Structure formats: C-alpha cells, structure tokens
A and B are shown apart, each in its own frame.
Chain A
Amino acid sequence: MGSRFKQHRISGGIGGDDRFWEALEDGELRLCRCGSCGAWQWPAHFRCGRCGSWEHDWPLVEPVGTVYSWTRTHMAFPRTTARAESVPYVVLLVEVDGTDGARLHGVLEGPADALAIGARVRGTIHPPADESLGYPSLRWALETAEVSR
C-alpha cells in the first residue's frame, strides 16, 4: 500500500484524504463516501455531517469527467518552483463522473486546443515526483473526437 507521500506530508486543509493519496500511489482513483448513508463526501472529512457516521467507504472511481474550470499559470510560485520549466501549464478542475459532482484538480497533459469548460477529460495516475511535491498525482487529458465512448 502506497504511503511514500507521508514522508512529504502537506499539512494544509482538512487532511481527511490519506486514503485518496494511498490509493493514488497504488495506481487507483478512490473517492470518499459515507459508510452509512452513502453520500459522496469530497473533500473527504472525518464525520458525515448528514447522518453522523464516522465510517467511510472508498470505492474505485473511473478517472473521467468534465472540465468545471481551468487556469493557465505563467509563472512559478514559491512552492511550485519544481514546475518552473513547465510554465505555462494548465491546471484543470474536473467534475468526476458518478460522484455526485466531486471535483478534483490536475495538470493538463497533451493538446489544449479543445480546452473549455464542459470538455470531457480522462485522467492518468502518476507516481510521486518532485513536481508534485513527493505525492502521487492525477493528470488530465482532453478526450479527442476520435476517442469513442
């Protein structure tokens, strides 16, 4: 089970998503559902605010979805200097299919010609790297017309 990311622990935010990163290191995309009422919970948290359960399920999710928003960043910032040679790069915010609208970020790889809100994307999982600060990462690619669905 993956856990290399824990050596580079980023402590910001809610931080209930260790299982997400472990799964990603194992090459799987898993998102959080309440273990009792089944509500999707993203970002993952420690307790379900709807039914009060502290139990979670982490079902496998297919890394496909729709572009909800995007930005093309043209400079490296203090904590993204490992991407200095990649600028400009595009980061997508993607609504993942079948998750009641959970959104995940990820860098866009491949052609950006068809980049637009609403475009369909498919994700691939990448192992921990310097540019992703020692964490595994999900990158998105725009689905082209010839890809049949």
Chain B
Amino acid sequence: MTGLRGAAAVVGVGLTPHHRRSTGGPALRLCLEAIVAAAEDAGIHPGDIDGFVSYGAERSEGQKMMPALGTKELRFAGLAWSHGGGIPGALNVAASAIATGQAEVVVVYRSLSEYDGRRLQLDVAQDDTAAQFLVNGLDAPVQLCALGTMRLLEGEGVPASTLRAMAQASYHHAQRNPAAVGNGTVLSDAEYARSRWISEPYRLFDCSRENDGAAAVVLVSAERARDYPDAAYLLSAPLGAAAGWGPLEGNQNPLWSAGFGAVAARLWAESGYRPEDVDVAQIYENTTGMGVSALIDHGFCSLEDAAELITFDNLIAPHGRLPINTAGGNLAEGFIHGMGLVVETVRQLRGTSVNQVPDARLSLMTGGPGDAVVSSALLGTRDTL
C-alpha cells in the first residue's frame, strides 16, 4: 500500500452541459463554470482553491483562471501524462499534493471547446501522432484503436458481441440522463447493425462523441473530508506503463490489451480490494473495443470468458454483475475527454446517479485505454477505508 490510500477525497463535483461541438463558447469560460460549480458543491469559496491539476493538452491553466476565481494563492499546479490515459492519474497527483501539504484544496478538471480550440481529434491527440501512422492513412485515435481491437477479435477470438453490449449499456443508461447527448437514441440490435462503419471493427455507435464542455472535481484531505458524509475517498490511482508498452507505434505487447496490466495489479494491491468487490465502474471508452480490453486488463474477465461477462444484462444498473458507464459514458452522455466519468464515479458513491447502483461503496474509473501511459482509480465511501 502507498501512503496515499485514503489520504484525499472528492468533496465537490461540477459539470457543464455537453454542448454540440463549436457551440459551447470559450473553453476557459466553460472551465470556470465547472470549477465554480464544483467549489459551490463542496461549500468552498472558489478563491480558496490553491491547486490545479489536469491532463492531456489542457490549456485552461490555473494561472489563467486566478483573477476570475479570486484565487488567493496558487500553490500547486500539474499535468498528468498523457492524453485521456492520465485522468485517474491526475487524481493521484492531486492527492500527492494534498498529502504532502503542498496544497489544501485541489481541483482536477478538463475543458474542451472547438469554439476556440481545434478539432478534438487534434486537441485530444496533442498533435503527437507519429509519421508511421499519418503516412499510412491513420490519423484519428479511432483508427489506431481499431487495429488493437481487430487483434482482440480476430486474433484472440473475443466475440464482437462484447462491443455491441458496451454500446447498448451506455445508450441504455443515457435514457435516464436528460443531460446525455444520447438521450432519446434507443440502440437496438438492428440500429447498431445498420450504423455505418467508421474503421472496422468499429461502427458509428462504437465511437465516443465530441462535445464542448468542462468537468471538475474538488479534492481535500481525509481529515477535512470528515465534514462531508458523502465524501468519495481515493483508495488508489496508479498511473504507468510496463516495459513493452508506451508510444510504440503498433509494437506494444500485447496489442489487444488496453495497457492496464501493471497499473491494474498496483490498483488492487494498493487498495486492498479485488475486481469482484467493485460495485460500479466507469470505463473510459473512446471506442467500445478498448473498453472491453480495459475490463479484461483489470481482471473482471479473461480473453476466454469475456463474452460471458460482457453482456448487456450484466453491464446495466441497478442489478447487473458490473454496471458500467451509468450516466451514458463517453459514448452516450458526451465527451469531455473522459472527465465526465470522474463525476459519475463520485455520484455513484453519493447515491445520486440517474442509474444508481444500490448501496454502491466501491466505484472504479479506468482512464483512456490503449494510451502510451494509462491510469485507473478506485474510490470508496468512508467505510471502505
């Protein structure tokens, strides 16, 4: 166990609407909306936030927001590598700052807007796509993920039904979330099968949305969190990559994986819990197939029995074996580079999800799958400490 287990907790969440891309206005404004909402949710004055942590190519830096937040002193700022792979790792950076006394109130956030940013494919990929991809007609993350998932399906024999189940669970959950962009889209087997190919084996409904928006969570020390009966404690949030993984241009091993093997082992060791203890999970799915790989990497199932676990019935709240993406996820709630999943991870522990899992005590979030480094976070209620 690391000294960070239970050292910090999320006590406030904020989420803007998922605007259609390029209609959301400036990213910095959206970011302020989410952070102020998270501070108010925690009953903390926005000016008291003294730490700012994000990931990917976040451009709404803390120092840009200080005048608007009334920041008294910025004492800590950091960015977790890399892309969406760093999301839960950003929680770990925040907890590290809190546990070491460098900051007291740390916000972890992400803002994206095509109103004043670029296509998310570029903002999210950080213009860091290797020549070996671009020269050969591979640009978007969805195409790179497709090569990994083709290996999972055709190479390892995991049935394509798992992809459909992931998509249908997300859209099912979105029907109870009025704020979800997929609200009103009922994804039947036929509708899924009819949808157009994007990059095989992915169809349109296997791919995440693109939205303008921002999301934020506020963390404080476990001591300060005692004032909050619904605090969500960070039990473990490792970030990393094992040898053989990284930005290896299709040479990662095993390529069918989402890269979480070593990180998941640390997550379970540090938290003291096992996959079967998890009540609900938010699985970052830029594409359905990478979500399937993430579930296998975390030990919820194996390559051999993936099709047994990953069914629609098993993945839906309230009573599935492992309800996932209970607000609709990146596919059907909307895409703010995965940060909405952190908010939903916390809602489940508070009992305020639109698709609440009864008495959820352990809530998992897995970060951007297949990324060069990845991270996962297990959060729990106070009695899980």
Instruction: List A residues at the B interface (Cβ < 8 Å).
Output: 5, 10-15, 17, 21, 42-43, 68-75, 77-80, 83, 86, 88-89, 91, 93, 101-107, 116-117, 131-133, 135, 137-138
Not counting A13-B249, A74-B198, A91-B136, a sample of 7 additional A-B residue pairs whose C-beta atoms are within 8 angstroms of each other reads A13-B131, A69-B148, A69-B150, A71-B201, A78-B119, A104-B250, A107-B137
Q: Which residues of A contact B134 (CB under 8 A)?
A: 10, 12, 79-80, 133
Q: Which residues of B contact A132 (CB under 8 A)?
A: 135-136
Give Cα A50 to B69, complex, Å.
Answer: 49
Chain A residue nearest to B148 (CB atoms) is A69
Q: Which residues of A contact B354 (CB under 8 A)?
A: none
Give Cα A79 to B148, complex, Å.
Answer: 21
Residues of A contacting B: mostly: mixed
Assess the B137–A83 pair: CB atoms within 8 A.
yes
Neighbour of B147 across the interface among A42, A69, A106, A133, CB < 8 A: A69
Known A12-B130, A78-B119, A116-B154; judge A71-B251 contact (CB<8 A).
Answer: no
B134 to chain A, nearest CB (A): 5
Instruction: List B residues at the A interface (Cβ < 8 Å).
Output: 119, 121-122, 127-140, 143, 146-148, 150-151, 154-155, 196-201, 247-251, 255
Known A78-B122, A91-B143; judge A69-B130 contact (CB<8 A).
Answer: no
5 closest Cβ pairs, A-B complex: A13-B130, A71-B146, A77-B139, A10-B131, A105-B136
Assess the B138–A105 pair: CB atoms within 8 A.
yes
Give Cα A147 to B13, complex, Å.
Answer: 63
A131 to chain B, nearest CB (A): 7
Give Cα A78 to B142, complex, Å.
Answer: 13
Q: Which residues of B contact A10 (CB under 8 A)?
A: 129-131, 134-135
A-B contact pairs, 9 of them (CB 8 A): A5-B131, A43-B251, A69-B147, A78-B121, A80-B137, A91-B138, A105-B132, A117-B150, A135-B135
Assess the A72–B135 pair: CB atoms within 8 A.
no
Q: Which residues of B contact A104 (CB under 8 A)?
A: 132, 250
Q: Which residues of B contact A80 (CB under 8 A)?
A: 134, 137-139
Assess the A17–B197 pair: CB atoms within 8 A.
no
Assess the B128–A107 pair: CB atoms within 8 A.
no
Assess the B136–A117 pair: CB atoms within 8 A.
no
B135 to chain A, nearest CB (A): 4
Assess the B199–A72 pair: CB atoms within 8 A.
yes
Give Cα A79 to B133, complex, Å.
Answer: 11
Assess the A117–B128 pair: CB atoms within 8 A.
no
Assess the B132–A13 pair: CB atoms within 8 A.
yes
Q: Which residues of B contact A117 (CB under 8 A)?
A: 150-151, 154-155
Q: Which residues of B contact A43 (CB under 8 A)?
A: 130, 132, 248-249, 251
Assess the B139–A12 pair: CB atoms within 8 A.
no
A7 to chain B, nearest CB (A): 13
Q: Which residues of B contact A135 (CB under 8 A)?
A: 131, 135
Give Cα A14 to B154, complex, Å.
Answer: 29
A76 to chain B, nearest CB (A): 9
Give Cα A137 to B150, complex, Å.
Answer: 23
Q: Which residues of B contact A137 (CB under 8 A)?
A: 135-136
Assess the B151–A73 pair: CB atoms within 8 A.
no
Give Cα A95 to B147, complex, Å.
Answer: 13
B293 to chain A, nearest CB (A): 13
A6 to chain B, nearest CB (A): 11
Max count, chain A CB within 10 A of own CB: residue among B130, B140, B155, B201: B130
Known A10-B134, A13-B249; judge A68-B151 contact (CB<8 A).
Answer: yes
Assess the B139–A13 pair: CB atoms within 8 A.
no
Q: Which residues of A contact B137 (CB under 8 A)?
A: 73, 80, 83, 86, 89, 91, 107, 131
